[in-house]
């Protein structure tokens, strides 16, 4: 398998938008050599829960996803 790139998405779980559908999201596409990213601290609200998804994109277009949730701390 040859990885062509990655997509990393962070989404705040709690809805805070005026209509309940706006959620802060951070989405980045990375090359195949990537092994880490830095997310700006200003994106996170301490005490909030975030969903993390990492999508590995294979050269043929096949995709594999892994996900987790975590609590942002100060």
Question: Can you tell me the distance from the alpha carbon of 4 to that of 58, in angstroms, rounded to the nearest whole number?
Answer: 5
What is the pTM for the complete model shown? 0.83
Structural domain spans, the chain: 3-71
Tokens at residue 18, please? 């005026």
For residues 55 and 3, the answer to whether their CB atoms sit within 8 Å is no
pLDDT in tens, 3-58: 999 999 999 887 666 666 677 889 999 999 999 999 999 999 999 999 999 999 99
Count helices and strands in the chain by DSSP H and E runs: 0, 4
CATH number of 3-71: 2.60.40.10
Residue 4 confidence (pLDDT): 97
């Amino acid at each position: 398998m040859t990885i062509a790139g990655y997509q990393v998405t962070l989404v705040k779980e709690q809805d805070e938008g005026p209509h309940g559908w706006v959620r802060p999201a951070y989405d980045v596409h990375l090359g195949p050599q990537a092994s880490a990213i830095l997310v700006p601290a200003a994106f996170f609200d301490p005490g909030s829960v975030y969903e993390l998804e990492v999508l590995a994109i294979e050269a043929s277009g096949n995709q594999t996803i892994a996900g987790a949730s975590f609590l942002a701390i100060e």
